[in-house]
């Protein structure tokens, strides 16, 4: 999750205790006086150790420059050292050189070139985080969790992520052949993807069965404003209020923190949306909803899956904890950290994990993710049963959750809907190509009318900029 001052995508890719004030002040002063000698000594000892380690680094650097079998580039060595330092922290902290920095800015602006694929490097292999909807990669059928073994017939295992991304880039209209290894498939298979200029519209909406469906493609600039425009567009197309709304956050890897807050605020009348807590006071902040629910309190279902991360989990967690929406689908990814973009120069920056975020009830989704109120498998996907789900807890050096997500026994639904036993072929015969969306629509159709009738008259939409 990235803060506004950190316009970063949420992936590893390259997107008071109350005490008496006088007593507290006295203890602080007395403690400071008593600890000055010990603290100064500890600091001096620590700095000595640090300087020794820096001397060791310079010794290694000079040995590599002078003795490595091939002539090496100093800039490349230093960047490698920086990358190694940051990768030892967590999967989401990284150094952005001029190219990475520019790519990040264009992605959060919502327009960039490529095939529409978010990837990461895992143990030397290129793994797909998620394809962006309606992009060439999405249309080609590439799925989250896929491994790319070859690009245009060349093995990419053991290389760098930059090298793999460079090979997938190219002029719009040209094709790139990707060899995909998918767990559950007996053998790798080739996919040809035609490159294009990716123009991502953060919000897509449509109406079906008197229900407004809003898909959030990305939490980039203006997503919150586009969300409110989408709500107005749905009402205008119907000529009246819909039965309710389905907010589709599936396979959304995250984005800007401010936009996640803005989207959540569209459905809330008051209360906490999310809080973030870091080491410093500046990194600790709570975000609140402003008065006025843009939907007028109509029922909402939020769809999530294993690819729903970061900003998506903030929205789902806020609406779930405030009992504003029914969360449906599968457990989300579980990325509960905030990355801040710290400029190092005019063209480079440090993307550093600076805080954890918490839902209104104080839950951390780190590792555990958001548990749906109703678990609905995507049985219309023929690879669903065989394909494993990858989440934050599967990433090496991921942050350890400070508060586990738990379910009370009374809230658990132990009965399985008999419809979950249907096969993709049976669903296709019935004209169902997205079972989770179909299930959400049927749920709102059955309950929407009664819920609309029970909506408080005080929940009125307001117009906001």
In whole angstroms, give the CA distance from residue 331 to residue 146: 19
Are 28 and 20 in contact, with CB atoms under 8 Å apart? no
CA distances from 55 to 50, 52, 61, 62, 372 (A): 9, 5, 10, 11, 52
Are 207 and 238 in contact, with CB atoms under 8 Å apart? yes
Render the burial of 76-105: b for 16+ CB within 10 Å, e for the rest: eeeeeeeeeebbeebbbbbbbbeebbebbe
CB proximity list for 335: less than 8 A, separation 6 or greater: 1, 10, 92, 254, 309, 310, 313, 365, 366, 392
DSSP secondary structure code for residue 356 in this structure: E
State both tokens at 62.
Answer: 């000079």
Are 341 and 8 in contact, with CB atoms under 8 Å apart? yes
Q: Of 328, 327, 419, nearest to 380 (Cα)?
A: 419
Q: Of 191, 196, 215, 198, nearest to 142 (Cα)?
A: 191
Instruction: Say whether 419 sits in a helix, a strand or coil.
Output: helix
DSSP secondary structure code for residue 119 in this structure: E
How would you classify residue 293: left for phi > 0, otherwise alpha for psi between -120 and 50, otherwise beta? beta
The H or E element spanning position 90 is none
Q: Of 337, 411, 324, nearest to 369 (Cα)?
A: 337
Are 351 and 343 in contact, with CB atoms under 8 Å apart? no
383 CB neighbour count, 10 Å cutoff: 16
Instruction: Say whether 258 sits in a helix, a strand or coil.
Output: helix
Are 401 and 358 in contact, with CB atoms under 8 Å apart? no
User: What is the distance of C-alpha 132 from the center of its chain?
Assistant: 13
In whole angstroms, give the CA distance from residue 13 to residue 58: 29
Are 402 and 366 in contact, with CB atoms under 8 Å apart? yes
Exposure of 431 by Cβ count < 10 A (0-12 exposed, 13-18 middle, 19+ buried)? exposed
Question: Which residues are marked as active site?
Answer: 310, 321, 335
């Amino acid at each position: 999750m990235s803060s506004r001052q950190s316009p970063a995508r949420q992936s590893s890719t390259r997107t008071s205790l109350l005490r008496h004030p006088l007593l507290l002040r006295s203890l602080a002063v007395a403690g400071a006086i008593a600890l000055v000698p010990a603290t100064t000594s500890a600091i001096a000892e620590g700095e000595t150790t640090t300087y020794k380690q820096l001397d060791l680094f310079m010794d290694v650097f000079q040995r590599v420059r002078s003795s490595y079998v091939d002539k090496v580039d100093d800039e490349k060595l230093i960047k490698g050292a920086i990358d190694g330092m940051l990768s030892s922290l967590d999967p989401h902290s990284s150094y952005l050189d001029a190219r990475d920095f520019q790519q990040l800015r264009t992605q959060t602006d919502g327009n960039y070139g490529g095939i529409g694929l978010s990837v990461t490097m895992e143990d030397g292999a290129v793994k797909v985080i998620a394809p962006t909807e309606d992009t060439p990669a999405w249309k080609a059928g590439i799925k989250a969790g896929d491994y790319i073994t070859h690009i245009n017939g060349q093995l990419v295992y053991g290389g760098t992520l930059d090298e793999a991304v460079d090979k997938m880039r190219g002029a719009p209209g040209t094709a790139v052949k990707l060899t995909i290894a998918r767990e559950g498939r007996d053998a790798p298979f080739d996919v040809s993807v035609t490159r294009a200029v990716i123009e991502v519209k953060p919000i897509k909406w449509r109406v079906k069965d008197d229900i407004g469906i809003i898909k959030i493609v990305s939490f980039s600039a203006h997503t919150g404003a586009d969300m409110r425009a989408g709500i107005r567009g749905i009402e205008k197309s119907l000529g009246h209020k819909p039965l309710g709304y389905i907010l589709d956050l599936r396979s959304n890897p995250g984005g800007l923190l401010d936009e996640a807050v803005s989207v959540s605020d569209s459905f809330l009348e008051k209360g906490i949306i999310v809080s973030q807590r870091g080491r410093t006071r500046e990194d600790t902040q709570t975000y609140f909803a402003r008065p006025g629910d843009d939907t007028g309190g109509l029922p909402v279902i939020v769809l999530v899956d294993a690819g729903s991360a970061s900003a998506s989990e903030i929205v789902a967690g806020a609406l779930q904890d405030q009992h504003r929406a029914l969360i449906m689908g599968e457990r989300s990814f579980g990325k509960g950290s905030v990355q801040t973009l710290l400029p190092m120069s005019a063209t480079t920056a440090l993307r550093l994990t600076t805080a954890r975020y918490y839902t209104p009830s104080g839950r951390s989704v780190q590792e555990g993710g958001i548990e749906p109120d109703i678990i609905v498998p995507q049985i219309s996907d023929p690879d669903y049963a065989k394909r494993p789900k990858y989440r934050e807890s599967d990433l090496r050096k991921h942050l350890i959750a400070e508060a586990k997500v738990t379910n009370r026994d009374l809230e658990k639904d132990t009965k399985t809907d008999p419809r979950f036993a249907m096969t993709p072929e049976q669903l296709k015969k019935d004209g169902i190509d997205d079972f989770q969306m179909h299930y959400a629509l049927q749920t709102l159709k059955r309950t929407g009318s009664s819920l609309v009738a029970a909506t408080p008259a005080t929940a009125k939409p307001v117009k906001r900029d």
